[in-house]
Structure 1
Amino acid sequence: MRVVISTIGRFHSLNQGRQLQARGALAALFTGYPRFKLADSGIDPALLRTWPWIQAPYMGLLRFPGFQRHLATDWSWWAQSLHDRHVAAHLPPCDAVIALSGMGLRTGRVAQARGGRHVCDRGSSHIGYQDDILREEYGRQGFVWQGIDPRVKARELAEYDSADAITVPSGFVRDSFITRGVPADKLILVPYGGDLSRFRPLGEKDRDFRILFVGQLAIRKGLSYLLQAVRRAALPGAKLVLAGLEQPETATLLARETGLPVERLGVLRGDDLVREMSRASVLVLPSVEEGLAMVMAEALACGTPVIASTNTGAADLFSDGVEGFILPIRDPDAIADRLTRLAADPGLRAQMGHAARDRIQGFGGWDRYGDRLYTALRTLTGA
C-alpha cells in the first residue's frame, strides 16, 4: 500500500507520516514548510516534498496585527489553493492520498481518477458547526466573529462530499459531522496520540497550587470561562499560568477579571513546555470548539490531571473522575468546583496524576493511532 500525505504545515501530519513510514506505506509527504524546518521530522528526506514559497512568508507575517486584518484571509486562501494545485500536479503513484481538509479537493480528484482513494483529514469539528458556534460565542463575549472565508468553507464542504472517507480525531468531531448530515460510515475515528519520548515527568510538582493553561489566549479556547472560574474558586496561594500566543481579544478578556494571580509565559517549546506541564497541579482547557487538543495528552504524559470541556475531544483521551474531569462548555462554576476539589486534596491530585501517566503509556504513544490509521487505509483501498 502506498499513501501520500498532503499538509501545508506540520500539525499532526508529521506523526501521521512517521507512523505510515514505519509500516512501509508512506510514498511521499508534501508540506508547505521549508526543508530546514523539518530536520527533526523523522521522515526520510527522500520522501519529503517541500513547497514553502507561499506558506512560509504567510506564517511569518501573521505576527503583525495589521497584516492579519487586511491580508491574512486572501493570503491563506491562495496558499491553500496553490498547495493543492502543486500536489495534484506532482502526485506520485499511490493507493490513497490523505489531504488536510481545505487543501485536497483537486488532489483528491486526481488520485480518484487514477483509481486511488481520497481521505479528507479534518482536525477540528465540521466547518459549518465550527463557524456557527464561534459566531455564537464571539457574540456572547461581546465581539464580532468575522466568520470563516466563504471560499474556504465552500471548498471544504465539497471535499466532504467528494472524499472517499473523512478521518476525525474525536467522538466530538465525529458527532459534529453526523449532525450536519455526513454519513457515519464515511467517518473514520482515529484519536491522536502523545509523544512519550518528549513528554514525561520532569522535576517535582510545585508546592503551591498551579493552574496551567496552554494554547492560544483566545475566545475559542474558553479563556474567559477559566478566568471566571479562578476568580470564583478563590483559592489562597493559587497561581494561574497562561502559556500561549496572545490574540486580539486577549487583553480585553484579561481586563475583565483584574486582580487575578496570573503569570503569562508566552509561547513555550521543548523542555520549557515539558517542565511547566510537569510542575503544574492541573491543566485546564475549557475550549468551546476544537478537534482533539494534543496538549491534554502531553499534560497527562507528564503526570498532570486535566480539566477539559466536552468539546476538546477529552473523552477520547481520559475518563471523567479518573485522570481528570470532563465538563460541559461555558460552565465556570463547574470548573471552579473541580479546582477547589483538587486544591483541597493533594492525595486526589497525586492519584489522578499517576492514573494520567498510566493511561497515556497504555496508548503506546502514537503507535495506536498508527495501527488504527493503517488498518483503516488497508480496508479502504482493499490492499
Structure 2
Amino acid sequence: MKITLTCNTGLGTGGQGVCLANAAVGLSKLADLTVFCSGVKKPQADFPVYPLGYSELSRRLLATPLLRRRNDLAVLLSDLHFDRQVSRQLKSHSCDLIMGVAGQTHLGFQTAKARGAKAWLYCLNSYLPFMQKQIKQELKYLADPTVATMSPIMLQRFSRECQQADLIVVLSEVAKQTFIKAGFASEKVAVLSPFIDTNRFYPTAKTDNVFRVLYVGTIEPRKGLPYLVNGFTQANISNSELLVVGGTSTRALRIFMEKTLNQHSNIKQEFWDFSSADPTQVFGKSSVLVLPSVEDGFGLVALEAMACGLPVIVTSQCGAADVVENGVNGFIVPPRDPEAIAQKLTFLADNETTRIAMGKAARITAEQQTSERYQETLNQIFVMGNGY
C-alpha cells in the first residue's frame, strides 16, 4: 500500500511541524510513505520527502509594508500554490491513501480520489469555522483592525475537504467535539493525540524562589495571552514573575505587549528557538505553565511543560485539556476568564508542596503519552479508516 502525506510546512518545525513529523514516522511503519512539504531543503528522513518550494506571491506580499498585515491572504496564496504543486505531482505519483492538512489539500484530494485513493483530512486545529468565530471575537475584544482571520476562500476549501474526506483526524477530544457540534458523525472523526520526547523534556532543579508563570508560543489572538496578563496582575502574588516566550503576530498585540512590559516590571518577554536551544533552561526556572487559548487543537507546549515537571493551567477549549486532571497535574479553566486564572495561580503560589506534587504527577502523565501508544492508536485508525 502507498500513502502520501502532504503539509505546507517543514517537518519538525514548531508544534505543528512536530505533529506532522510524528505522523510521517508513524505512517511510514504502516506502508510505503511519500511526503510532499513546503520549502527547498530536503529534510533527513527514512522515507522519500519532496519539498515543493514556496509561493512567490505570498512572500512578496509579506515583504510589502502596506500589505504584510494581510496574513489571511498570504496564507491563502501559500496554501493554494502548495495545493496546486501537490495536485500536479499526484497526476503521476500513485497512492492508495492521501493524508493532507486542512485548508491545504482540496485539489490534492480531488486528484488522488479521482485515481481511486482514500482521503484523510488532518486537522491540527479545531473545526475551522469554530476557530474563525473565536478569532473574530478576540479581534473585537482587542479592537484590532489587523486582518488575522481566515480567508472565506480558505473556509470554502476546508468545507469541500471535509466533504471529500473519508476520515478526519484531529489531535484531541476537545477538537473532535467541535466537529461533532457542527454535525459530523462521531465515527468520521478520529483522535490521534501527540507525544513528546521525554528524554529531551525532563524535570530540572529550580534555582531561585521566584514564583514564575510561563507562557510559550506565538502571541496571536486565539492564544488568549491578554487574559493571562490580566489574571496574573489580578493575583498580585509577591515575588512573582510572568515570563512570555514568543513574538507577536498582530499590530494590536504588539502594542499590548509594549504597554504591558512598560507598566509591569515583573512581566518579561524572551525569545527562544527550542529547535536548537535546551528547553529545560526555560521550563526549569518556571513554576507553572499557562496556556489561556480560546482555541487550540492541542497545544503541544503544555505536554512539554508537564514532561519538565510543571503543573499546567489550560482552558476547556485547549486540546491539552485531554491530558489534564483538575487538581492532580494541573487545572482546566473556562476560556476568557482572568479571575479563574488568578485564583489557580494564587493557589499554586500559596501551596508549594501541592504544586510540587502536581508537577510530579504531570511528569507521569507526559511519560504515559509514548510513541508506542501513539503508534498503537494510529494502527487502530488505519484499520478503521481503511475498513480492514
Same fold by TM (over 0.5)? yes
Q: 1:59 to 1:348 in 2, by over 3 A?
A: farther
Q: Provide the residue aligned with 1:159 in structure 2.
A: 161
Match of 2:330 in 1: 324
1:218 aligned residue (195, 217, 220): 220
**SS at 1:99's partner residue?**
strand
Q: After superposition, what is the alpha-carbon deviation per residue over 1:97-119, rounded to whole angstroms, capped at 9, x for unaligned? A: 11001111121122222222100
Match of 1:29 in 2: 35
Query: Which deviates more from structure 2 when the two are superposed, residues 101-110 or residues 224-233?
Result: 101-110
**Structure 2 partner of 1:250:** 253
CA distance in 2, matches of 1:169, 1:238: 33
Correspondence for 2:103: 102
Q: Label 1:61 to 1:3 Cα distance change in 2 as closer, same or farther (>3 A).
A: same
Number of paired residues?
374
User: What is aligned with 1:85?
Assistant: 84
What is the distance in 2 between the residues matched to 1:8 and 1:206?
Answer: 42
User: By how many angstroms is 1:252 displaced?
Assistant: 3.2
Instruction: Say whether residues 1:52 and 2:53 are aligned partners.
Output: yes
Please, which moves more after superposition, 333-342 or 125-134? 125-134
Partner residue in 1 for 2:364: 358
Match of 2:5 in 1: 5
Alignment deviations for residues 37-64 of structure 1 (CA, whole Å, 9 cap, x no partner): x24xxx22x5111112328x95798587
Matched, 1:14 2:21: yes
Cα distance per residue 1:175-211 (max 9 Å; x no partner)? 1111222222211111111222321224435421111
Secondary structure of the corresponding residue to residue 240 of structure 1 = strand
In the TM superposition, residue 156 of structure 1 has moved relative to its aligned partner by 0.7
2:295 aligns to what SS in structure 1? coil
Q: Which residue of 1 aligns with 2:315?
A: 309
Question: Hey, what does 1:187 align to over in structure 2?
Answer: 189
RMSD of equivalent CA atoms: 2.3
Q: Deviation string for 1:273-323 (max 9, x for gaps)?
A: 332012210001111112100000110111111011111112212211111
Question: What residue is the counterpart of 2:14 in the other structure?
Answer: none
**Equivalent residue for 1:69?**
69
Identity percentage over the alignment? 28
Which AA in structure 2 matches 1:249? A
Q: Is the contact between residue 206 and residue 281 of structure 1 (CA under 8 Å) also seen in structure 2?
A: no
- 3-state SS of paired residue (1:329): coil
* 1:241 to partner: Cα distance: 0.3
Q: Distance in 2 between matches of 1:282 and 1:234?
A: 16
Aligned to 1:381: 386
Q: In structure 2, what is the Cα distance between the partners aligned to 1:256 and 1:15?
A: 37
Which stretches in structure 1 are left out of the alignment for 5+ residues? none
Structure 2 CA distance for aligned equivalents of residues 305 and 344 of structure 1: 14
